[in-house]
Structure 1
Amino acid sequence: MRSVPMGIAEVMPTPKQMDLSTEQTVLVDHSWRVADESDAIDIGTKFAEAFCIGMNDAPNEVALRRDSSLGAEEYRLEIAPGRIEVAAAHRPGFMHALATISQLRNGPLLPVGTISDRPRLPLRGLQLMVEKIYQFNEEQILSLIRSAARHKLNALLIEFGDRFPFEAPHEAVASPSALTRQQLRRIVDEARDLGLEIIPLVQCIGHLEWLLQHEEYADLREENEARAQFCPLNERAVTVWGELTEQVVESIGGGERVHVGGDETRQLGVCPKCAARVAEAGKGRLYADHVNRVCEWLDQRGMAPIIWDDILCAHPETMGYLHEAAQVMYWDYWTTQNPSPLLVARGSNAGAVVYDERWNSEWAGELPEITRRTLDRFARPANLESDLGEAYLDTYREYLGDQFPRHVPAMPYIEYYQARGRVVYGAPTCSGNHSFWHTLPDLQRHVENIKTFADRCIETRAAGMITSAWYNRSPELLHLGIVATAEFSW
């Protein structure tokens, strides 16, 4: 429960410790100056510009002080008559303090008091699906970047697809609605200036309709109907992927991580060569061998590959072959409470999203409305003890908890992937899977999904959480995803 004194702005995300006066304020005017001892690039200038003050000899000061005892994004803020002190160890902490100040301010007035604050997850971000959200233009993307920074997110997962301004030898791929190089530069510069890491997502096997529709790439297709998936046995596929990825990575100035997609490879093993390989070694090996070549390409260049988890979950044998550098982004858009009656059971005999059939009989009426609605819309009732199948239970039963089959821990595969030595990120959604609330997207389900995932990521000390957004809806809806992700992951 938030407890904010009347008259004080409700800072989001909620600071860890906040003690502010409702009666005493300080007026920051021309009698104030910035005293910068932060040792952080341009931080003094940013505070001076935010307060519209100088860095001269005025009697009152905004003191920026480096404190190496604080965490990477932690900050302390003390507001008193004649002196405001901001302490942080690194630039992100100072930027977060400035974001808090921007929410607390009433014009030139700030409440007297103290704030100590730090995040609970190291990576906190939002997906910008530029490829599919055609309504995105430069200004809308910049608006979301500024909102993300104001709410202390520190990452953006950006999937450009054919809206990236590809150049030779792949210039034919770029869509008529592709961003220009100048627009892309402004977007990247804004994100970097505000402390947001850009993680590009370049699909390495599936969801490649935007590429494989072009006849120049016909030889790379797994099949000729959907035209959405690379043939994983075609060595030129990794070459082309590398050339595309190199252009994207260079445009953002490099980075620590690249998301390689890898989800929903529905045509895996369709072509005759792949079908023969599946018969010999299984889908998991076919998939892993291709993905591993992509992971090796990134690993050799000092970048960590991130992969969606659904194929790993559906074909758990893949984990035994997967490149050691691969990190896992675990997505679940249906779970809205912990413990949960709903189980995402990819690869099981019961279906992908299931719940115990007794929730329709002897346990009926015990569920919150959002969970009940989600089960009815997306999940299949089953006898979980018998219908999931022996292979599924042999692999995952130990992660389903002692309340199974009535409940399971929310997002139970976090610990499964961690037990196999993987870095794990959570991925809820603020715009995924079609259900509606009063003709709006199902905001209630999305918020509960984000909160449940964040709580579990914090509990399991996951590496972070990126909230996804897939549908071509009004970009303004994504601001809710930003605020919810920030509030629950901070």
Structure 2
Amino acid sequence: MLKSHILRVLFAILIGFNNLSGFSQNNAKFEILPSPQRFEITGQSSIKFGEVKKLYADNLSKLPVHGTFLNELFSVNNEADADLVYRIDSTIQVDAEGYTLSINNNKIVIVGKDEAGLFYGVKSLEQLLEDAKDQKAFLPNCTITDFPKLKYRSIQLDIKHHLEKKSYYYDLMDYLAGLKVNAIIVEMEDKLKYEKHPLIGSDDGFTIEEWAELSNYANDRNIEISPLIQGLGHASFILKHDKYKALRDDPKSDWAFNPLDPRTYELQFDLYREAIKATPNGKYLHIGGDEVHTTGKNSGRSALDLQLEWLRKVCKFAEENNRIPIFWDDMPLKQAGVYKPMFNKNMTQEEVDEVWEKNEHKLVEFLDQFPKNCIYMRWNYHTPEALGNTKAMEWFRAHDLQVMGATAGQTRWVLMPQRESNIKEIKTFALSSIESGLNGLLLTLWDDDSPHFELYKRGINAFSEYTWSGDKRSKSELKSVFRHRQFSFETSGNEFSFIDNLEKPVGIWKNILLNGNKRNYLKGNENAIEKFVIDLPTEKKGVWSDKNKERIENAENTLKTCSKIESTLDKMKSEATRNSYTLEIYEQVNKLVQFSSNAVLKLRDYDKAQDKEEERMALEGLKLLSKEFTALRTEFEAVYGKTRVLNKPENYILDQDDHVHLSNQSLNFDWQFYAELLFLEKLEQLF
């Protein structure tokens, strides 16, 4: 036994032990996400899961919040008697929020640089304990030295179109804290019950007090919540109401405020004050400001001039209220003509510089009007590596303006995130932010087409990994560790990598029952069934199938893929020791995708029927689709409804929907199924 232990230690020394988070002992595998900066395993301790009970907290004013694996701790007076020791030491050689963790045979010691560092040391220990429990293993003898590469690691919580149940947000705070995410920007819109302007707040929104309670809960877990209240544009949640129509820049559009009307600021500042009160621990006030072109009711002033007029006033308000304003930077760059290079990764440095040399003077002309207390948030979701993106960020910094990046884990993807949860793009922007010495990064998670939030979690894990750790794990390694941590060590293998396999079927599903990419454009179109829903077979047999050959092939391939995914999900559900609800959501996505492809194949069978009996049987199959869909939707809504509020209040007013957001197109959950509903309505023509 001793010889075996010595050999293991010698082997560990030979391979260096640098970041060896996947090292196995007694067939146990320990993974920490995000990766520690240094993780050295030197063997096996004598500590089993459930044996960590006695805590010695060295002169701490308060204990860090514990998760379920450490909720039976009791204090002892002597360090020698303890299983677990906590202390804070500002002199340890790690950055802020850093910690060291050591496990030496029968004792665990966590030393935090500060309170946050101690808390994150506890979070890492909890992951080790979870692995020990799952694998019935001893904890490893190990040392960890860890700290974040980026100071501000924030995700966006976009709730403008729907809310989850309140309990979900509390569970989410615990989940994010475990990933060492330390901030949230919550895009409230009308989901805050404004007291001074109650008409704006939706009946299903949370009160100021309810938001403040959540903010305090998050703060105890080192998560700072700050609000985003859209200002100049994206103002439909306000300007849709008759009471506020006079504040519109364009009387016919509920999209943007008139920046020259003093009442615009009176109203916006009222909303800001209440949002600040609802987030008492927040450092920032995100004011939006993107995707808007105003005329000041034809004042003759340029859009850039008007944008900066508004920006100066709201930034002054933020400063007076002890908040740092954050502003989406796209409109000044677009209005100055330097925007396109940021999204063209094929442009050379010479080509980018040429665009800037031609147009930069338009920005410089207004340079004195750019507020210095503002953070200019350079969002780029798909091409963060573009030289034009880097150029824009350098321009802000060169002119003493603060800049921060924003990446995305969800954009306009329907039903589930695509592009491998944007892992590559998240990693690229995180690493460039670290290399550039920026303060932080925001992960946007847009609710425009509203996939279930559980499906955002792989992207959130990627964001956690690369903003905290830097370049330690490859994309494939990250996916494996995500499955390990999210579900079970048993599901870390590539045979369980169903998420990527589901992407193509979901992409095909979006329009398989439609002519063209029209799912977002069905609502409110009087002729949607005839214009956008696929034609049905005619009496001339085989014509429909020839015309829809590619659609049929896509349906066949989709069903084959989805069948394999179904088997994988069944196996994962039996193996998962946690987060089985996430798998239930993916299961519902898979079933909805299969329904639409199955409908296409039933149309093919009807079109190719060789005699009256085959035609009758095929027609019976088509008639069953409505009943099958009703059962599918009932189950789908039951699963989603465990955490999500599916219906808007009856008195809710839908806005003009300028950007055709699916989840903004009905009071109930119809928006998720419009294509299927219209298809089934059209199908009645065959019966």
Residue 42 (1) aligns with residue 52 (2):
no
Aligned residue number for residue 88 of structure 2: 66
Task: From the superposition, tell whether residues 25 and 265 of structure 1 become closer, same or farther in structure 2 (CA, over 3 Å).
Answer: farther
Work out whether residues 416 and 451 of structure 2, in 8 Å CA contact, stay in contact via their aligned partners in 1.
Answer: no
- The alpha carbon displacement at 1:140 in A equals 2.6
Task: From the superposition, tell whether residues 468 and 114 of structure 1 become closer, same or farther in structure 2 (CA, over 3 Å).
Answer: same
2:280 aligns to what SS in structure 1?
A: coil
Q: Larger Rg: 1 or 2?
A: 2
1:172 pairs with 185, 199, 205, which one? 199
Q: State the distance in 1 between where 2:418 and 2:96 align.
A: 35
2:374 pairs with 301, 322, 326, which one? 326
The structure where strand makes up a greater share of residues is 1
Aligned residue number for residue 311 of structure 1: 331
- The alpha carbon displacement at 1:209 in A equals 0.3
Aligned residue number for residue 170 of structure 2: 142
Residue 289 (1) aligns with residue 309 (2):
yes
Residue 128 (1) aligns with residue 161 (2):
no
Task: From the superposition, tell whether residues 478 and 409 of structure 1 become closer, same or farther in structure 2 (CA, over 3 Å).
Answer: same
Deviation readout 1:334-357 (Å, 9 max, x if unpaired): 216x4x4xxxxxxxxxxxxxxxxx
Aligned residue number for residue 486 of structure 1: 464
Work out whether residues 333 and 433 of structure 1, in 8 Å CA contact, stay in contact via their aligned partners in 2.
Answer: no
Aligned residue number for residue 550 of structure 2: none
Residue 5 (1) aligns with residue 31 (2):
no
1:171 aligns to what SS in structure 2?
A: coil
Give 1:234's aligned amino acid: D
Task: From the superposition, tell whether residues 2 and 312 of structure 1 become closer, same or farther in structure 2 (CA, over 3 Å).
Answer: farther
Work out whether residues 19 and 36 of structure 2, in 8 Å CA contact, stay in contact via their aligned partners in 1.
Answer: no
Task: From the superposition, tell whether residues 37 and 423 of structure 1 become closer, same or farther in structure 2 (CA, over 3 Å).
Answer: farther
Give 2:439's aligned amino acid: A
Task: From the superposition, tell whether residues 12 and 216 of structure 1 become closer, same or farther in structure 2 (CA, over 3 Å).
Answer: same
- The alpha carbon displacement at 1:185 in A equals 3.8
1:192 pairs with 215, 219, 222, which one? 219
1:470 pairs with 446, 454, 457, which one? 446
Q: State the distance in 1 between where 2:251 and 2:286 align.
A: 26
Task: From the superposition, tell whether residues 78 and 427 of structure 1 become closer, same or farther in structure 2 (CA, over 3 Å).
Answer: same
Q: State the distance in 2 between where 1:219 and 1:78 align.
A: 64
Deviation readout 1:154-179 (Å, 9 max, x if unpaired): 00010110011111x20111113212
Identity of aligned residues (%): 23
Q: State the distance in 2 between where 1:198 and 1:467 align.
A: 14
Residue 461 (1) aligns with residue 437 (2):
yes
- The alpha carbon displacement at 1:37 in A equals 2.0
Q: State the distance in 2 between where 1:30 and 1:19 align.
A: 22
Q: State the distance in 1 between where 2:213 and 2:45 align.
A: 41
1:488 aligns to what SS in structure 2?
A: helix
List structure 1 segments (4+ residues) > 3 angstroms apart after TM superposition: 21-25, 27-32, 45-49, 180-183, 409-412
Q: State the distance in 1 between where 2:296 and 2:262 align.
A: 17
Which deviates more from structure 2 when the two are superposed, residues 221-230 or residues 137-146? Answer: 137-146
1:263 aligns to what SS in structure 2?
A: coil
2:297 pairs with 271, 286, 298, which one? 271
Q: State the distance in 2 between where 1:14 and 1:40 align.
A: 29
- The alpha carbon displacement at 1:29 in A equals 5.4
Task: From the superposition, tell whether residues 177 and 76 of structure 1 become closer, same or farther in structure 2 (CA, over 3 Å).
Answer: same
Aligned residues: 408
Q: State the distance in 2 between where 1:427 and 1:153 align.
A: 15
- The alpha carbon displacement at 1:31 in A equals 7.7
Task: From the superposition, tell whether residues 470 and 304 of structure 1 become closer, same or farther in structure 2 (CA, over 3 Å).
Answer: same
1:140 aligns to what SS in structure 2?
A: helix
Deviation readout 1:13-66 (Å, 9 max, x if unpaired): 0111001245334236568521112635333x7489815221025723422122
- The alpha carbon displacement at 1:440 in A equals 4.1
1:299 aligns to what SS in structure 2?
A: helix
Q: State the distance in 1 between where 2:201 and 2:173 align.
A: 23
Deviation readout 1:99-128 (Å, 9 max, x if unpaired): 111111123952211000010001001100
Aligned residue number for residue 227 of structure 1: 254
Give 1:67's aligned amino acid: D
Deviation readout 1:358-402 (Å, 9 max, x if unpaired): xxxxxxxxxxxxxxxxxxxxxxxxxxxxxxxxxxxxxxxxxxxxx
Q: State the distance in 1 between where 2:228 and 2:279 align.
A: 12
Q: State the distance in 2 between where 1:182 and 1:210 align.
A: 21
Give 1:143's aligned amino acid: D
Deviation readout 1:278-300 (Å, 9 max, x if unpaired): 2xxx3222111111011001112
Q: State the distance in 1 between where 2:168 and 2:30 align.
A: 26
- The alpha carbon displacement at 1:131 in A equals 1.2
Q: Structure 1 stretches of 5 or more lacking a match?
A: 341-407
- The alpha carbon displacement at 1:248 in A equals 1.0
Residue 262 (1) aligns with residue 280 (2):
no
Residue 247 (1) aligns with residue 274 (2):
yes
Give 1:63's aligned amino acid: V
Work out whether residues 125 and 485 of structure 1, in 8 Å CA contact, stay in contact via their aligned partners in 2.
Answer: no
Work out whether residues 239 and 255 of structure 2, in 8 Å CA contact, stay in contact via their aligned partners in 1.
Answer: yes
Give 2:159's aligned amino acid: V
The structure where helix makes up a greater share of residues is 2
1:208 pairs with 228, 235, 248, which one? 235
Residue 418 (1) aligns with residue 442 (2):
no
Give 1:123's aligned amino acid: Y
Work out whether residues 87 and 118 of structure 2, in 8 Å CA contact, stay in contact via their aligned partners in 1.
Answer: no
Higher RCO (CA < 8 A, seq sep 6+): 1
1:158 pairs with 166, 171, 186, which one? 186
Give 2:372's aligned amino acid: E
Deviation readout 1:412-466 (Å, 9 max, x if unpaired): 32222111212221101111144x7xx7421426111111110110110111001
Work out whether residues 66 and 90 of structure 1, in 8 Å CA contact, stay in contact via their aligned partners in 2.
Answer: yes
Question: Mapping of 1:101-116 within 5 angstroms?
Answer: 101-105=125-129, 106-107=132-133, 109-116=138-145
Task: From the superposition, tell whether residues 128 and 53 of structure 1 become closer, same or farther in structure 2 (CA, over 3 Å).
Answer: same
2:36 pairs with 9, 15, 19, which one? 15
Task: From the superposition, tell whether residues 216 and 38 of structure 1 become closer, same or farther in structure 2 (CA, over 3 Å).
Answer: farther
Aligned residue number for residue 302 of structure 1: 322
Residue 335 (1) aligns with residue 313 (2):
no
Work out whether residues 69 and 126 of structure 2, in 8 Å CA contact, stay in contact via their aligned partners in 1.
Answer: no
- The alpha carbon displacement at 1:410 in A equals 5.7
Q: Structure 2 stretches of 5 or more lacking a match?
A: 1-17, 337-362, 469-687
Task: From the superposition, tell whether residues 410 and 445 of structure 1 become closer, same or farther in structure 2 (CA, over 3 Å).
Answer: farther
Aligned residue number for residue 359 of structure 2: none
Work out whether residues 144 and 479 of structure 1, in 8 Å CA contact, stay in contact via their aligned partners in 2.
Answer: no
Q: State the distance in 2 between where 1:257 and 1:441 align.
A: 28
Work out whether residues 292 and 323 of structure 1, in 8 Å CA contact, stay in contact via their aligned partners in 2.
Answer: yes
2:318 aligns to what SS in structure 1?
A: helix
